[in-house]
């Protein structure tokens, strides 16, 4: 099963694609889509096109994305929500089901501790993917963690994820 993990951000969105077969990760690809336009609408359009192109090329069976969490300013939450919307739309147009996970769930699944710091999550992602010393940007590591989290939960007996968005 190929799963795309998405870590949305209004200026930098991480993506990570993993292939999970017979209880093991066989391959992975990752990166960060950086948007530099001062206009949010231009950044969203660029992100949508980049995500669409990646989906066309990679054809994952599912995508997973982080839910919005509180604690940020209202303007940050709105920008994040719009960014998530663009990514959700790209996946919906490609007919790829999306599953949403809370940050605490992802961190607990990956590290065993729901409040793990980003560098700790990145190191566990690197270990789970047998990536050695491959340099993985934090945003991409979060996206890979999203994909790994979904692989773990989807392979569990009686998987019935209530938050399928698309």
- Residues belonging to the active site: 7, 66, 139
Contact 101, 66 (CB under 8 A): yes
Paired tokens of 122: 């990145």
Annotate 40-100 with DSSP letters as a single string.
Answer: HHHHHHHHHHHHHHHHHHH--SEEEEEPP-SSS-HHHHHHHHHHHHHHHHHHHHTT--EEE
Q: 111: which 2 tokens?
A: 């590290």
Q: Tell me the two tokens of residue 64.
A: 């997973």
Distance in angstroms (rounded) separating the CA atoms of residues 107 and 7 = 13
What does the DSSP 8-state code read for residue 160? -
Contact 17, 28 (CB under 8 A): yes
Residue 100 structure tokens: 């949403």
């Amino acid at each position: 099963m190929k799963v795309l993990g998405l870590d949305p951000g209004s200026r930098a969105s991480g993506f990570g694609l993993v292939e999970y077969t017979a209880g093991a990760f066989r391959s992975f690809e990752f990166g960060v889509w950086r948007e530099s336009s001062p206009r949010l609408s231009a950044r969203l359009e660029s992100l949508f096109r980049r995500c669409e192109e990646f989906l066309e090329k990679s054809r994952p069976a599912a995508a997973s994305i982080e839910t919005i969490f509180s604690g940020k300013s209202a303007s940050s939450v709105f920008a994040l929500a719009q960014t998530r919307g663009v990514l959700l739309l790209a996946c919906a147009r490609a007919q790829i089901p999306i599953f949403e996970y809370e940050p605490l769930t992802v961190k607990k699944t990956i590290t065993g501790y729901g409040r793990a710091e980003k560098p700790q999550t990145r190191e566990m992602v690197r270990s789970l993917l047998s990536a050695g010393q491959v340099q993985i940007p934090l945003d991409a590591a979060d996206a890979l963690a999203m994909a790994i989290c979904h692989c773990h939960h989807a392979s569990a007996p009686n998987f019935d994820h209530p938050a399928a968005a698309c």
